[in-house]
Amino acid sequence: MYLLYFDESGGTGLGGASPTPLFALSGLVLHELRWAQTLEAVISFRKMLRATYGLKLREEIHAYDFIQRPGDLRRIARNLRLQILKRSLQFLASLPDVNIINVLVEKRNQPAGYDVFEHAWQALVQRFHNTISHRNFRARRTPRTSGSSSAIAPRKRSFDSSPVGCAGSIRSPASLARPRG
């Protein structure tokens, strides 16, 4: 079973009802057999950020807040906040069993009554389903010791600069087609 954690960015309103021209849903996908070890890696990374930069474990890492509205984060110099963002992205890319899926809705020129939230979710669920169906999430499979089903095998922890997951725009129906693997 795969677990999906998602977050959204931007407003769902159209025209003057929203200050943003885009709405995005992004999801981190992880196989259940790798959840515990990935959580341990995240906790270790966050502890390193605390020790190195003074970022509290419970403080969220939001790029907009780090750059535009630091609030309590002003205690950390701006150049160090940027370094935290960079290191966080590098860490995320280095996780061998984490996949990322994205959906971007371009709200400009959508007809009145267009349900941005519904269309974004429909696309995200479709992308999640297609990628599972075609086994395009990165993870090696090896036979289990009991039975014929498969399990996720350990992978070497190193930085992989290749693109992660898949992304696309609601504006382009072709982007909702079967992911390539």
Residue count (the chain): 181
List Cα–Cα distances, 95 to 5, 30, 37, 165, in angstroms.
Answer: 15, 10, 10, 12
- Provide the 3-class DSSP secondary structure of residue 90: helix
The rounded distance, in Å, linking the Cα atoms of 38 and 100 is 14
Q: Where are the domains of the chain?
A: 2-176
Q: Residues 28, 4: contact at Cβ < 8 Å?
A: yes
**pLDDT tens, residue by residue, 56-112:** 999 999 998 899 999 999 999 999 999 999 999 999 999 988 999 999 999 988 898
Instruction: Convert 76-85 to b/e letters by CB count within 10 Å (16 or more is b).
Output: beeebbeebe
pTM for the whole thing?
Answer: 0.69
Look at residue 33 in the predicted model and tell me its pLDDT.
92
At residue 143, does pLDDT exceed 50? no
Longest dimension (CA), the chain: 59
Q: What angle do CA 163, 87, 70 make, to 5 degrees?
A: 120
Q: How far apart are CA 170 and CA 12, in angstroms?
A: 13
Q: Can you say whether residue 10 is alpha, beta or left, with left for phi > 0 and alpha for psi between -120 and 50 degrees?
A: left
Give the tens place of pLDDT for each residue, 22-55. Answer: 999 999 999 899 999 999 999 999 999 999 999 9
| Joined tokens for residue 40 | 């341990």
With beta carbons less than 8 A apart as the criterion, state whether 66 and 81 touch: yes
